[in-house]
Structure 1
C-alpha cells in the first residue's frame, strides 16, 4: 500500500531539506506519543546507516520498531526504512528545486506486510485509505507552512 503527497514549499532547497529531515524532532514526537526509541551507536549526525530501535503501541499492542536511514543525499533526497512488528514501512522524500526559494517536496510512504497480523492492519488501513491520505496530506502541508513561516522570519 502506497501513500504519496506532493507539496510546494516557499523556502530554499537546503533549508527545506534540513527541516524535513530533522530526525531529532521526530524522535521527540515519537516519545511524546508513547514510543520508547533509542539511537543505535549513539550517533550525533544523521547519515546513511543511522539506526533507531525501540517499542511503540500499534493497534493496542506493544511492537518492536527499527528504523534505518538508507538514503541521505542532501539536499535532494532522504529515505528511512522502518520495521514495525511484521510490517515494513519505507518513507522517502525527494526535494526538487523550482527556483531559488521554491521547492517541490514529494513524500512517499509504502507499507508492506510480512505477517498475518500486519496484513490485517494494512487491510483495515485500506478501508479508511482516503481518511489516512487526507491526514498525511494535512500533516505535510502543516509542516511546509511552519517551515515557510520560519524561513520568512529568519529573512526578516
Structure 2
C-alpha cells in the first residue's frame, strides 16, 4: 500500500529541509505522542544506515519499529526504511524549489507486508484508505503551516 501527499510551503527550500531534518524536534514530537524513541547513532544527524528504534502501542499490542536513514541529499531528498514485525516501510520525501521563497514537498510512504498478519493489517488500512489519506493530508498541511509560522517568527 502507498500513501502520497504533496504540499506547497511558503519558505525557501533550505529552511524546509532544515525543519525536515531537525531530528531532535521530531523525536520530541514522537515522545509527546507516547512513542518511546531511542537513537542508534551518535551526534545530531544519523549516517546512512543508522537510525532509531521506537516502541509504541498499536491496536492493543506493544510494537517495536526500526527506522534507518537510507538517503540524505541536502536540500532535496530524505529517505527512510523501516521494519516492524512483518511490515517493511519506505518513506521518500523530496523537496522541489518552486521559487526562491516557495517549496513543494512530495511525500511517498510505502508499506510492504512480509507475513500473513502484516498482510491483514495492510488490508485493513486499504479499507480505510480515504480516512487515512484525509488525515495524512491534514497533517502535511499542518506541518507546512508550522514551518511557515517558524519562518515568520524568525524574520
Q: Which TM bucket (shorter chain)?
A: over 0.9
Contact 2:83 2:89 in 1 (8 A): yes
* Moved >6 Å (runs of 4+): none
Deviates more, 1:58-67 or 1:22-31: 22-31
Distance in 2 of aligned mates of 1:145 and 1:54: 27
Superposition deviation, residue 64 in structure 1? 1.8
Superposition deviation, residue 34 in structure 1? 2.4
Superposition deviation, residue 98 in structure 1? 0.8
Distance in 2 of aligned mates of 1:21 and 1:45: 8
Distance in 2 of aligned mates of 1:30 and 1:85: 20
Q: 1:4-15 to 2 correspondence within 5 Å?
A: 4-15=4-15
Structure-2-length-normalised TM-score: 0.93
Partner of 1:45: 45
Secondary structure of the structure 1 residue equivalent to 2:110: strand
How many pairs align?
A: 155
Superposition deviation, residue 149 in structure 1? 1.6
Superposition deviation, residue 48 in structure 1? 2.1
Aligned-residue CA RMSD (Å): 1.3
Partner of 2:89: 89
Distance in 2 of aligned mates of 1:121 and 1:14: 37
Contact 1:43 1:50 in 2 (8 A): no
Structure-1-length-normalised TM-score: 0.93
Superposition deviation, residue 126 in structure 1? 0.6
Unaligned runs of 5+ in 2: none
Matched, 1:63 2:63: yes
Residue by residue over 1:42-68, the C-alpha shift from the partner in whole angstroms, topping out at 9 and shown as x without a partner, is 332233223111322122111221000
Distance in 1 of aligned mates of 2:60 and 2:33: 13
Secondary structure of the structure 2 residue equivalent to 1:107: strand
Superposition deviation, residue 28 in structure 1? 1.7
